[in-house]
Structure 1
Amino acid sequence: MSNTQNGTAPVLEVRDLGIDFWVDGEWVSAARGVNYTLNPGDVLAIVGESGSGKSTSSMGVLGLLPANGRATGSAKLAGEELIGASTPRLRKVRGKGISVIFQEPMTALNPVYTVGYQIVEALQVHDPSMRRNQATARAIELLTQVEMPDPKKAFDSFPHQLSGGQRQRAMIAQSMANDPKLLIADEPTTALDVTVQAEILDLMRRLHTELDSAIVLITHDMGVVADLADQVIVMKDGEVVEHGSITDIFNAPKHPYTQALLAAVPHLGTVSIDPDELAERIDTDHVLHMKDVVIEYPKRGRVPAFRAVDGVDLEIRRGEIVGLVGESGSGKTTIGRAAIGLMPVHSGELSVAGHDMVGVKGGDLRKIRRDIGIVFQDPGSSLNPRIPVGESIAEPLLLAGELDKKAMNLRVEELLDAVELPRAMRNRYPHELSGGQRQRIGIARALALKPQLLVADEPTSALDVSVQARVLALFQDLQRDLGFGCLFVTHDLAVVDLLADRIAVMHNGKLVEQGTRDQILRNPKDPYTQRLIAAVPVPDPAEQRERREQRRATLGK
């Protein structure tokens, strides 16, 4: 029975909410006809791809739209209309009636003030009578509630001095400072490692239960939705295409878009390996060989040398995809950078396609790099914004100097065909393409010189699930056709389960476990690997509930 039926008023009632932006002399709709009711303790997930209107509609409720935006319809917080409310009134609502946890705490927290100062400010703005020492004590209490390691130290720390998970905890502490009726969490775990994500979700679940706050969870991660939500709204192109309970949406989705969205989500433990296909595809020649590799960041001033990778042995054969997984700071990206010659090896053996990489420099390194391709995490920042994407694809060919202009143009067109993009797109600039299209351009550029080794560094982490699914399918097709070996660096174990033939697990600079996909994901031996896998949310509410309880039992919570 709902709280409304029990006589408790809804926290938020949204009716026919619309969001428009003034563009080129006319109003353009970004969201329309959004309706939902939130009662105390409810968790509503709003899901959809980038541009669906999920974040814009929620920010419109708070009056946090840019100057060319407007909100129409109705949004009542405990019976009080917010649409059209004055700015002074909305300022009193923000942080007190409604708080927001933003996607990236580093940009939401003020870098020039300590974490403690910012929490104290949030307290005193809404309660001017609160003394400084009272606010300080309350801020430290809040940091303790969000399980911040050493709350007093964190109180005096600046945002950049905290880890990503600690910054997110600080933002949650700030958002809960005034016991809000409603918490809007906009992609609160997207940038976090799976173990930290699991801790943040546990924290949000506990705090919202204790405070009986309602939560609007904005996300594209269906595993997070399965873990936390009670009801789900699915948005596409600014419209709500489906609205139902968590069980109905996951077990019996009605709209084709919802069905496609769920089908595109990688699900840990659902992929099987064909041993015959594997044996046919993988060669015996090694394209990457590492033995007892040590990589250090040198001493700088008073900052001592830091050993990022310690004694790693790793091999990749031609035609093989090896997933390198681990949390932030584990050393996995450092290994990828060393493989392409961007990080020097302190000691040990490292060779690529038979070429010794230790100590190689200058022209010799440039020759070796013809056999190596790299796909970066953020295609937007790795492509030159001032030149058409066709020129970006051609750049490795131009530097290699092996083709004339006609042959180079033909090769660019072949690469665009290979990544399933129209040839006419070569004349567009990066900002004119979607995220998925930019990532396809990045893959085309990486394959321009037909490399023997491809290093893919989190190539799909910034993409929507359906775009990610298409890019991963394309990646698999290209790998089968071209036969390159691949080091796939990621923290997404579901993606690794979909792609990798073997998996290597990094922790604190050491390789703690490696083996076949089944060995690592179905029967892990190392305790760290077991914790990592247990923390991965799966897009199934019943299974996720069971996994969460098992994880809590393992941790003794």
Structure 2
Amino acid sequence: MLKCHDLSFSIGSQRLLKDVSFELAAGETLAIVGESGAGKTLLSKLMMGFAPTDGVQDGEVLFEHQELTALTDKQWRTLRGSAIGRVAQEPLSALNPVKRAEWILSRAIQLHQPAHKRSPSQLRQRIDELLLQVGLRPEHRKRFPHQLSGGQRQRLLIAIAIANSPRLLIADEPSTALDEQTQQQILRLLKRLQQELNIAMILISHDLQLVRDIADQVVVLKRGEIVEQGRTEQIFTAPAQDYTRMLLARPSFQRPEPVVSAPLLRVSHLTVKHIIDGIHFELALGENLGVIGESGAGKSTLAKALLRLIPATGSIEFDGMDWQRLSRQELRAQRGKMQFVFQDTTSSFNPRLTIFQSLKDAYLAQHQGQTHHVEPHLRQAMQDVGLDETLLARYPHELSGGQRQRVMIARALIVSPKLLILDEPTTALDQVNRRHIIALLQRLQAERHFSLIVISHDQGLLATLCHQYLVLSQGRQLAGKAHSVRHDMPHHDDVADANWHETPISRQVIES
């Protein structure tokens, strides 16, 4: 069904993809894996006709014996969304922010099925069916994208991709923002739909372990080149390359030592109408809090309420200040002390500014008058998060999802905060860069002495970084208070296959 032969892509003197070749039969699943920046998303865009205009493409891509690289824009518009569906990596930026889910889905259906006339009731029934298929409720069709959680937005994208029963589905990190239970539900859904409709599927992921049960064959990319490819079982049981073995390796970190210091944050009865209710906890300087819960539990809403990005009631005492009572001017002056790394990397940057300009603006916001020596600080910030300083000249869309996520961490740390809130900081990262980010946060925290609030489905990350944890379910705090992490709590390897609500972390809270 799909054949890629010696596909290469270059921008200027930089070769981003080199001689990529593979074949995919109808009904099969190909997983493309590799670390951040390996070229996975670029490869998926080339197969959808979204090649960057300033690049040069060589090689061929054949879909059902049709040469895709020779298609006109009009031919691509006919093919995309009907014969070939795609689940984008960044759900918030891929959805129209001023349209409800119902409008977005109905447009996807009607645009590619003009000959199939549906009455309003039939169209609504089809939309409800699609929502239920991806784990959403029919009432979600009335919501705007910003009213959905990250996981709900991603499921909406999957509903759009399967709306017209495509023959090929390209899923770019389709379960990145989801908790482990929902991840498995989405992957099982994709596999079931594939089997029922005989769809060929390309699954792009930084997590090699995630694709084991769904992929028939695996392609491992490194810096735009294939380093290994073969049947899935062969890749997992007898990997031929050290790079593949490194991607398969499980990380191992020591748990954090207890912190004894002055209180930094006290939260009491924090409530956001209809979303979270009555949250309370305390956090000392240098101490880390993990927040865990299913998609839609209110984790990101809690973070936004702490930052005063959305209205909330209750008490927030931060660094000796009544955070809720600060005026707009006072809050602006204190913003640097509490920083946020957002879950959605694309919508968190101004697309018209280079990375240099984005970091510079963040630095100058807290270091006014220090314009003469900005560049060395920005270069050091990039090095701190493991990125090449040459990326400073690029725009956000020219970086991979993992690279953007690391730039966001650099931007937050450049103002030396006392509290850093991270919303799913490792979801877009492969095992190699995940280990790097964890080690980076541990080193920087030891050097600069700040606190962390980590929102994540990654239990290995929480067990490694966090001294206490908070479990949310449907906007409520389980067990009524935050709990300290027990030193005998199993590590990530022991709970990797468990659902979030069945893990030792949350089970201890529920039983207490």
TM range (shorter): 0.7 to 0.9
Q: Alpha-carbon deviation of 1:506?
A: 1.9
Residue 263 of structure 2 is matched in structure 1 by 286
- Which residue identity is paired with 2:260? D
Residue 493 of structure 1 is matched in structure 2 by 459
Residue 253 of structure 1 is matched in structure 2 by 239
Residue 226 of structure 1 is matched in structure 2 by 212
Residues 280-304 of structure 1 deviation map (CA, whole Å, 9 limit, x = unaligned) = xx115322223x42334xxxxxxxx
Residues 152-194 of structure 1 deviation map (CA, whole Å, 9 limit, x = unaligned) = x667877677665555445444443554332211222234444
Q: State whether structure 2 residue 271 is matched by structure 1 residue 295.
A: yes
Identity across the alignment (%): 30
Q: Alpha-carbon deviation of 1:80?
A: 4.4
Task: Provide structure 1 residue ranges, at least 5 long, that are not aligned to the other structure.
Answer: 1-10, 297-305, 400-404, 524-529, 536-557
Relative to 1, partners in 2 of residues 1:31 and 1:341: Cα closer, same or farther, differing over 3 Å? closer
CA distance in structure 2 between the partners assigned to 1:145 and 1:359 by the alignment: 43
- Which residue identity is paired with 2:175? T
Residue 432 of structure 2 is matched in structure 1 by 466
Q: Alpha-carbon deviation of 1:461?
A: 4.5
Residues 17-51 of structure 1 deviation map (CA, whole Å, 9 limit, x = unaligned) = x2435x56x8x643232222222332111112444
Q: Alpha-carbon deviation of 1:94?
A: 3.8
CA distance in structure 2 between the partners assigned to 1:136 and 1:467 by the alignment: 44
Q: State whether structure 2 residue 277 is matched by structure 1 residue 326.
A: no
What are the within-5 Å matches in structure 2 for residues 294-443 of structure 1?
Answer: 294-296=270-272, 306-327=273-294, 329-337=296-304, 339=306, 346-348=313-315, 350-357=316-323, 359-361=325-327, 372-377=337-342, 381=348, 387=357, 389=359, 392-393=362-363, 395-398=365-368, 416=380, 420=384, 431=395, 435=404, 438-439=407-408, 441-443=410-412
Q: Is the 8 A contact 2:8 2:20 kept in 1?
A: no
Relative to 1, partners in 2 of residues 1:109 and 1:482: Cα closer, same or farther, differing over 3 Å? closer
Q: State whether structure 2 residue 200 is matched by structure 1 residue 214.
A: yes
- Which residue identity is paired with 1:220? H
- Which residue identity is paired with 1:502? Q
CA distance in structure 1 between the partners assigned to 2:377 and 2:163 by the alignment: 56
Residue 133 of structure 2 is matched in structure 1 by 146
Relative to 1, partners in 2 of residues 1:87 and 1:415: Cα closer, same or farther, differing over 3 Å? closer
Relative to 1, partners in 2 of residues 1:198 and 1:352: Cα closer, same or farther, differing over 3 Å? same
CA distance in structure 1 between the partners assigned to 2:242 and 2:384 by the alignment: 24
Residue 109 of structure 2 is matched in structure 1 by 120
What are the within-5 Å matches in structure 2 for residues 86-125 of structure 1?
Answer: 93-105=79-91, 107-108=93-94, 114-125=103-114
- Which residue identity is paired with 1:121? Q
RCO greater where, 1 or 2, for CA within 8 Å and sep 6 or more? 2
Q: Alpha-carbon deviation of 1:233?
A: 0.6
Q: How many residues align?
A: 481
CA distance in structure 2 between the partners assigned to 1:430 and 1:64 by the alignment: 18
SS at match of 1:441: helix
CA distance in structure 2 between the partners assigned to 1:107 and 1:362 by the alignment: 28
Q: Is the 8 A contact 1:439 1:459 kept in 2?
A: no
CA distance in structure 2 between the partners assigned to 1:229 and 1:239 by the alignment: 20
Relative to 1, partners in 2 of residues 1:160 and 1:116: Cα closer, same or farther, differing over 3 Å? same
Q: Alpha-carbon deviation of 1:314?
A: 0.9
- Which residue identity is paired with 1:76? L
Task: Provide structure 2 residue ranges, at least 5 long, that are not aligned to the other structure.
Answer: 492-497, 504-512
Q: Is the 8 A contact 2:92 2:145 kept in 1?
A: yes
Q: Alpha-carbon deviation of 1:245?
A: 2.8
Relative to 1, partners in 2 of residues 1:459 and 1:375: Cα closer, same or farther, differing over 3 Å? farther
CA distance in structure 2 between the partners assigned to 1:97 and 1:343 by the alignment: 41
CA distance in structure 2 between the partners assigned to 1:336 and 1:169 by the alignment: 22
Residues 46-100 of structure 1 deviation map (CA, whole Å, 9 limit, x = unaligned) = 1124443323333333434344556543433344444435666555544454332
Q: State whether structure 2 residue 468 is matched by structure 1 residue 478.
A: no
CA distance in structure 1 between the partners assigned to 2:74 and 2:87 by the alignment: 21
Relative to 1, partners in 2 of residues 1:96 and 1:255: Cα closer, same or farther, differing over 3 Å? same
Residue 517 of structure 1 is matched in structure 2 by 485
CA distance in structure 2 between the partners assigned to 1:488 and 1:170 by the alignment: 25
Residues 494-531 of structure 1 deviation map (CA, whole Å, 9 limit, x = unaligned) = 321221122111223322154333589759xxxxxx74
CA distance in structure 2 between the partners assigned to 1:101 and 1:418 by the alignment: 30
CA distance in structure 1 between the partners assigned to 2:304 and 2:143 by the alignment: 31
SS at match of 1:257: helix
The RMSD of aligned alpha carbons is 4.6
CA distance in structure 2 between the partners assigned to 1:470 and 1:38 by the alignment: 33
Relative to 1, partners in 2 of residues 1:116 and 1:84: Cα closer, same or farther, differing over 3 Å? closer
SS at match of 2:414: helix
Residue 15 of structure 1 is matched in structure 2 by 5
SS at match of 1:287: strand
Taking structure 2 as the reference length, the TM-score comes to: 0.75
Q: Alpha-carbon deviation of 1:141?
A: 7.9
Q: Alpha-carbon deviation of 1:238?
A: 1.8
Q: Alpha-carbon deviation of 1:271?
A: 5.3
CA distance in structure 1 between the partners assigned to 2:5 and 2:331 by the alignment: 62
Relative to 1, partners in 2 of residues 1:344 and 1:175: Cα closer, same or farther, differing over 3 Å? closer
